[in-house]
């Protein structure tokens, strides 16, 4: 590369850098954060965020294929972790409507620097490290959810860690929404039937989605044999045609970015973690404002695991019969929801007008707040 060309590329990187020098739009690209679990087995029947934060598994028509999803302490030089998928039940008779995608979804308001839908639209470069148990070919896709458009490129996997670099063409058609909704997805297609691969694959060209052209003709299925593996880490998506070195963030910063979408307050030390002070409204009802560590993208849904209880000096420890979020939220100037109102119910034994404590009553207890895209 000539000195002039090198300087031009440096200038492109500087121009397209995010505020504060942040380039990577992907969250948890180094697979550092796994609030839900570090391993989930027997997957393949339903969509979901199972282990590593921000990484969703989307599943099409029912498949016989099953897999395990792990956060593992393995990676290329400079990476402590990776996401690993392992086939545990093969599916060699692929129905037309089957598919399996690993994906990350993005808010439109975080993508305005793409300038999509304008004459100044930018190219976008995606890079990541991959390996597998055998040579394979998969497909990487940018899916414009707002406008039902996509652009796709095939990539190769070997048995050694390899950095894949894919620069996607600019799209002067159809802007992305400037809001907190799912506007664009980064999809890694790992399995699919003829509905998604029966047509003529056109590489690196934006188009209205034609389902049977979304996967390369030479595409491998991760379900083609038992023990097939796929490893990925160091995922980066940035504006421009240059794949810069992976942008590492601190664990604390990465966790905070993930908690905009999912927050788990769990019990890791004892049977009696205290979650919140509750106001007792009646013999059975309690209520409390519960601050969230990070303003969340949308009204979160609340689920619990294990056993939770209410403690007060009159009734002692009383297990909950129900817990929910009261539909009263505090929003921070459109930036997200920073606290919620928890409504907890017991069978009896409380005294109205007193205070109590919401706490865990076994080691498996947790509160989970979900505002995922």
pLDDT of residue 328: 58
CA 345, CA 171: separation in Å to the nearest integer?
Answer: 52
Greater confidence (268 vs 181) lies with: 181
- For the residues 221-234, what does the mean pLDDT come to? 97
For residue range 313-327, list pLDDT tens digits in order: 888 999 999 999 976
Domains of the chain and any CATH numbers: 3-259 (2.60.120.260), 262-370 (2.40.30)
**DSSP 8-state code for residue 175:** P
Greater confidence (222 vs 18) lies with: 222
- For the residues 103-129, what does the mean pLDDT come to? 98
pLDDT of residue 6: 45
Three-state SS at 114: helix
pLDDT of residue 315: 85
Burial class (CB in 10 A: 0-12, 13-18, 19+), 148: exposed
From residue 208, alpha-carbon distances to 118, 176, 241, 363 in Å are 17, 14, 23, 50
> What size, in residues, is the chain?
373
- For the residues 286-306, what does the mean pLDDT come to? 93
- Provide the 10 A C-beta neighbour count for residue 159: 12
pLDDT band at 11 (very low <50, low <70, confident <90, very high): very low
Intra-chain end-to-end CA distance of the chain, in Å: 41
pLDDT band at 7 (very low <50, low <70, confident <90, very high): very low
- Looking at the predicted structure, is the pLDDT value of residue 99 above 50? yes
- Looking at the predicted structure, is the pLDDT value of residue 346 above 90? yes
pLDDT of residue 94: 92
User: What tokens appear for 4 in the block?
Assistant: 């002039």
């Amino acid at each position: 590369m000539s000195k002039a060309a090198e300087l031009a590329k440096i200038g492109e990187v500087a121009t397209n850098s995010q505020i504060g020098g942040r380039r990577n739009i992907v969250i948890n690209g180094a697979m550092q954060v796994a609030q839900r679990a570090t391993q989930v087995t027997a997957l393949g029947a339903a969509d979901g965020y199972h282990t590593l934060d921000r990484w969703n598994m989307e599943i099409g028509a029912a498949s016989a294929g099953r897999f395990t999803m792990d956060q593992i302490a393995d990676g290329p030089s400079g990476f402590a972790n990776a996401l690993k998928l392992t086939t545990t039940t093969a599916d060699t008779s692929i129905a037309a409507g089957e598919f399996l995608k690993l994906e990350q979804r993005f808010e439109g308001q975080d993508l305005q620097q793409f300038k999509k839908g304008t004459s100044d639209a930018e190219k976008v470069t995606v890079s990541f490290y991959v390996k597998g148990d055998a040579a394979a070919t998969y497909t990487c896709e940018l899916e414009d959810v707002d406008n039902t458009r996509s652009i796709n490129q095939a990539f190769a996997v070997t048995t050694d860690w390899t950095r894949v670099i894919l620069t996607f063409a600019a799209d002067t058609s159809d802007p992305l929404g400037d809001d907190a909704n799912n506007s664009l997805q980064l999809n890694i297609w790992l399995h699919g039937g003829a509905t998604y691969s029966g047509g003529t694959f056109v590489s690196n060209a934006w188009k209205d989605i034609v389902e049977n052209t979304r996967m390369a003709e030479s595409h491998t299925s991760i379900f083609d044999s038992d023990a097939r593996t796929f490893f990925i880490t160091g995922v980066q998506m940035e504006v421009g045609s240059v794949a810069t070195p992976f942008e590492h963030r601190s664990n604390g910063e990465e966790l905070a970015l993930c908690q905009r979408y999912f927050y788990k307050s769990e019990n890791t030390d004892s049977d009696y973690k205290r979650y919140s002070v509750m106001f007792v409204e009646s013999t059975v009802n309690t209520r409390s404002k519960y601050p969230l560590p990070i303003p969340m993208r949308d009204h979160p849904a609340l689920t619990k695991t294990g056993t939770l209880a209410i403690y007060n000096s009159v009734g002692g420890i009383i297990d909950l019969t129900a817990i929910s979020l009261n539909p009263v939220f505090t929003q921070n100037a459109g930036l997200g929801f920073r606290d919620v109102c928890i409504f907890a119910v017991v069978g009896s034994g409380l005294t109205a007008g007193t205070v109590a404590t919401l706490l865990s009553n076994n080691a498996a207890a947790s509160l989970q707040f979900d505002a995922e895209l």
